[in-house]
């Protein structure tokens, strides 16, 4: 969850590290800190709060020298957010400084041993334990710091990405990874290390993704990668980044979330670009081609994901069964690895993750591979852990998503699953999808960017609704069939951005208990387009209104009927039933954004949240 940055080279480290923290702040923002190696000793600057608070705290940053440093922006696990628990952490003797993303599971037993040896701890974190363990081993061995770190890591269990410096070896930086992401950027006699590529892009396009169980030693302008377990030397593959620096900027929008909402016409088009073969009524996925034989034999599919990605999987569940005739189940990534799921070699696993680093989903993939399942992925971040772990995958190609609340990635995920359902449906003989039906869906699909643009033109109307509903403390979001998932996702957006209690559910569940909550102070948003569920949804509206509850309806453009029985109506263009959730996402994203702004919240960085969940 946390963000780590490191620099070693000839330029001043502070500006590189600080800018890197700004780029990574979406990963955690409880506290931030930087450690520099200056004049043979470590200078550590850290502060509770956002990265900007670190800047205010460090008045003389222009005078700070040193070409070696590490930095951290925190999402708290062990120890409350505070100055003392902020990273980087120094060892008791000041020989070692460390930043860490992840969790050391056996830190308490190690801490007990170290306390018995006379070590004193200034924080509540597991990371400080690791710093002192490294220092203790260093005292009792005569090996270089990379070997000291390796020996220390042999004693710990858990997940981590760490950067370590020793004041006795000022030209060396040690990096290690198990479970948490690390990218190393290669410059001209300089190296950049980070949790993802966003802090690196403006300095170099050449990067290496460290694999699980590997460590890197940067020394004398050289990089050596080896395994933690047995010191086997590895020759890494050097990737070339394609992300442009302007994609990481706000581009004239006040916040990243609004920018990313408005990017959806383009991101939907980019998701489809080069993949739709209309004359054949089919879809092309280059990453799946060599697995076609195995894909034909799939008779069941498990979709695994967490959060927004899981809700889009519920849309996929309907699509795979309707278009490909494949029985499909959506599973929490966190549960798949810990249950006796009824699967076999003909059950496929589809993992969905924007970041490609979601720890629970990654664990599910590893478990599925043990069971002999074919593993597929839908991922936005190229080179991420999930992208490398699955047998075959599909990239979203929507560009970086910086706001914590997912918007353009979620509509892309839903769209890709429907495209994949067409792809699988067209290759199945027994319950195949006809060419004519597939062409009809694909034609409607190609209209989505323009339809999304139409919705965005009504943003001011949704902004007015936000002013009207900003002070309510509870909401229901309802839908049926494909739009159950849309209702759940819309509810998540509102709760994570505005801190309003929201429940998303199937409309028909209302009468099985939740309707007891309805009164004049409990509004409901219901997704009720003109589709197979319209009359059912209309009945739910009547039930709510009969009990005095305010209702906002999302319905098809041109349908004026609901204006007479609801309080407010949001219109979306007509499309196929299975594509409706993609369009319904957009006004709910806008409503969540504008209500959060009205309530004075930090929309891009909601409290207690981080963009990428890399710990269980």
- Active-site residues, by number, are 2, 611
239: β partners: 207
Task: With beta carbons less than 8 A apart as the criterion, state whether 586 and 264 touch.
Answer: yes
Tell me the β-bridge partners of 478: 505, 526
| Pair 180, 160: CB distance under 8 Å | yes
Token output for 414:
């839903």
Q: From the CB of residue 280, how many other CB atoms can be counted at a distance below 10 Å?
A: 13
Which residues pair with residue 234 across a beta bridge? 225
Report which of 553, 566, 410, 559 is spatially closest to residue 485, judged by C-alpha positions: 410
Q: Which of 222, 165, 200 is nearest to 5 (CA)?
A: 200
Q: Considering only the C-alpha atoms of the chain, give the largest distance between any 2 of them, rounded to a whole number of Å.
A: 82
3-state secondary structure 129-150: HHHHHHHHHHHCCCCCHHHHHH
Take residue 103 and report the two structure tokens written for it.
């969790």
For residues 339 and 357, give the distance between their C-alpha atoms in angstroms, rounded to a whole number.
22
Residues 6+ apart with CB under 8 A from 104: 110, 126, 127, 129, 130, 156, 157, 158, 160
**Alpha helices (runs of H) in 212-343, residue ranges in sequence order:** 256-262, 264-272, 292-296, 308-324, 333-336
Kindly tell me the sign of the dihedral angle through the C-alpha atoms of 191, 193, 199, 205: positive
């Amino acid at each position: 969850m946390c963000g780590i940055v490191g620099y070693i080279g000839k330029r001043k480290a502070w500006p590189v590290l600080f800018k890197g923290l700004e780029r990574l702040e979406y990963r955690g923002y409880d506290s931030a800190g930087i450690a520099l190696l200056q004049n043979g000793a470590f200078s550590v600057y850290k502060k509770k709060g956002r990265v900007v608070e670190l800047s205010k705290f460090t008045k003389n940053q222009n005078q700070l020298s040193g070409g070696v440093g590490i930095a951290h922006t925190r999402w708290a696990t062990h120890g409350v957010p505070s100055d003392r628990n902020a990273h980087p952490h120094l060892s008791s003797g000041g020989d070692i400084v460390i930043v860490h993303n992840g969790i050391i599971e056996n830190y308490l037993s190690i801490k007990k041993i170290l306390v018995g040896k006379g070590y004193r701890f200034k924080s509540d974190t597991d990371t400080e334990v690791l710093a002192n363990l490294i220092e203790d081993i260093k005292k009792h061995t005569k090996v270089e710091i990379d070997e000291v770190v390796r020996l220390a890591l042999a004693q710990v269990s858990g997940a981590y990405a760490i950067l370590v410096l020793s004041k006795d070896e000022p030209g060396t930086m040690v990096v290690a990874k198990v479970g948490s992401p690390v990218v190393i950027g290669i410059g001209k006699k300089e190296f950049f290390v980070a949790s993802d590529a966003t802090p690196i892009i403006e300095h170099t396009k050449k990067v290496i993704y460290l694999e699980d169980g590997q460590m890197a030693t940067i020394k004398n302008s050289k990089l050596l990668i080896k395994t933690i377990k047995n010191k086997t030397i590895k020759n890494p593959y050097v990737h070339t980044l394609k992300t442009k620096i302007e994609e990481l900027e706000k581009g004239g929008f006040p916040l990243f979330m609004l920018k990313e909402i408005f990017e959806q016409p383009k991101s939907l088009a980019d998701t489809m670009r080069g993949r739709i073969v209309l004359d054949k009524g089919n879809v092309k996925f280059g990453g799946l081609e060599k697995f076609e034989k195995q894909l034909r034999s799939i008779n069941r599919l498990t979709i695994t994901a967490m959060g927004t990605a899981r809700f889009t999987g519920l849309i996929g569940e309907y699509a795979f069964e309707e278009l490909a005739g494949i029985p499909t189940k959506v599973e929490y990534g966190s549960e798949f690895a810990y249950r006796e799921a009824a699967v076999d070699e003909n059950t496929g696993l589809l993992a969905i993750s924007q970041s490609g680093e979601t720890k629970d989903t990654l664990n599910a993939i590893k478990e599925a591979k043990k069971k002999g399942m074919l593993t597929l992925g839908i991922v936005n971040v190229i080179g991420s852990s999930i992208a490398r772990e699955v047998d075959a995958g599909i990239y979203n190609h929507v560009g970086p998503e910086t706001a914590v609340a997912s918007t353009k990635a979620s509509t892309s995920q839903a769209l890709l699953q429907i495209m994949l359902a067409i792809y699988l449906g067209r290759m199945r003989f027994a319950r195949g999808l006809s060419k004519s039906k597939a062409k009809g869906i694909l034609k409607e699909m190609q209209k989505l960017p323009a339809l999304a643009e139409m919705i965005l033109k009504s943003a001011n109307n949704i902004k007015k609704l936000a002013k009207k509903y900003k002070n309510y403390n509870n909401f229901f979001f309802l839908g049926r069939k494909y739009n159950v998932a849309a209702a759940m996702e819309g509810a998540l957006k509102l709760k994570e951005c505005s801190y309003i209690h929201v429940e998303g559910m199937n409309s028909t569940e209302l009468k099985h208990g939740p309707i007891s909550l309805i009164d004049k102070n409990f509004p409901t948003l219901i997704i009720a387009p003109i589709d197979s569920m319209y009359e059912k949804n209309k009945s739910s509206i009547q039930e709510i209104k009969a009990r005095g509850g305010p209702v906002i309806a999302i319905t098809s453009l041109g349908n004026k009927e609901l204006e007479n029985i609801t309080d407010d109506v949001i219109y979306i263009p007509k499309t196929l039933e299975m594509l409706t959730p993609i369009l319904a996402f957009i006004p709910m994203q806008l409503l969540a954004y504008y209500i959060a702004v009205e309530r004075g919240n930090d929309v891009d960085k909601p409290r207690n949240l981080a963009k990428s969940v890399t710990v269980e």
